[in-house]
Amino acid sequence: MDTSFFLAWIKEAATAVQAERDHLTQLDAAIGDADHGANLDRGFAAVRQVLADTPPQTPGAVLVQAGSALIRKVGGASGPLYGTAFRQMGRALGEAPEVTPADLVTALEAAQEGVQKLGGAAEGDKTLVDAFAPAVRALAQAVQDGANLEDALQTATAAAEEGARATVPLQARKGRASYLGPRSVGHKDPGAASTALIFAALRRAAGPA
């Protein structure tokens, strides 16, 4: 995976977030404050702008720039969290011009660790971690099992989507939804839903199914 692969990922993610903007916002209206779609859409639009203005030369630079732009433009809880995720990934990749599937796994593990350290959420707290963690685990397993990139990313995406679905019956313990207590049960976490979108975008960046 080279720089253009990661640029493609960002583009796919931005497109998906834009397309699902209202859906994400409606999810957030149910148990949050009705801005998650708008937040991420604004953020990814800024990311694309930054990447167009100062084109990065390495995969790591793509991700660090993307993460910084998210932190600078999103606000809310998801801004620092996703921003940190992308920045940690980018830092893990260093200066390397090419990324192997194993590197990707390492980078995503670093991202997950950064998110959890910053936000303090564990799996089961009904946050984006509930989609992120299983996706990273599934990817690691698939790569270790020798799956090709497309298949491995397909597996990760499926795990993210399943993880997002699985947030529905949970009671939130972190983020805004936690204020609702038991009333947060029965709704999908918007951040978990957007994480699933971002993994699906990563899958698409690897080529047609």
Partner 1 sequence: MKKLINSVDAIVTDTLRGVAAAHPSLRVDFENRVIYRRNAPHQGKVALVSGGGAGHEPLHGGFVGYGMLDAACPGEVFTSPVPDQMIEASKGVDGGAGVLHIVKNYTGDVLNFEMAAELCADEGIEVASVLVNDDVAVQDSLYTAGRRGTGATLFVEKIAGALAETGAPLAEVARLAQEVNERSRSFGVALSAGTVPAAGKPTFDLSDTEIELGIGIHGEPGRTRTTHREAREIARLAMDAVNDDVPLSGDTLVLLNGMGGTPLLELYIVYGEVAAYLEEKGARAVRCLVGNYVTSLDMQGFSVSVCRLTDELTRLWDAPVETAALRWGR
Ligand X SMILES: Nc1ncnc2c1ncn2[C@@H]1O[C@H](COP(=O)(O)OP(=O)(O)O)[C@@H](O)[C@H]1O
Residues forming contacts to ligand X in the complex (CB under 6 A) are 28, 32-33, 35-36, 39, 76-78, 81, 115, 119-121, 127-129, 174-176, 189-192
CB closer to partner 1, 29 vs 96: 29
Count of beta carbons in the 10 Å neighbourhood of residue 101: 20
What's the rounded Cα separation, in Å, for the pair 115 and 129?
8
What's the rounded Cα separation, in Å, for the pair 54 and 56?
6
| Site stretch for partner 1 (CB under 8 A), options 5-13, 25-33, 59-67, 158-166 | 25-33
Phi, psi of 2 (to 5 degrees): -110, -170
SS3 assignment, position 14: helix
| Site stretch for partner 1 (CB under 8 A), options 3-11, 79-87, 98-106, 158-166 | 79-87
Check if the beta carbon of residue 70 is closer than 8 Å to that of residue 97: no
Supply the minimum distance, in Å, between the C-beta of residue 36 and ligand X: 3
154 binds, among partner 1, ligand X, Mg ion, none (CB under 5 to 8 A by kind): none
Supply the minimum distance, in Å, between the C-beta of residue 158 and ligand X: 19
CB closer to ligand X, 31 vs 62: 31
SS3 assignment, position 89: helix
Supply the minimum distance, in Å, between the C-beta of residue 17 and Mg ion: 14
Q: Is the dihedral of CA 104, 160, 198, 182 positive or negative?
A: negative
Q: Which residue has the tokens 């404050």?
A: 33
Q: Which residue has the tokens 């993610």?
A: 13
Using rule CB under 5 A, residue 35 touches Mg ion? yes
Residues forming contacts to partner 1 in the complex (CB under 8 A) are: 25-26, 29-35, 37-39, 42, 71-81, 118-119, 173-176, 178-181, 183
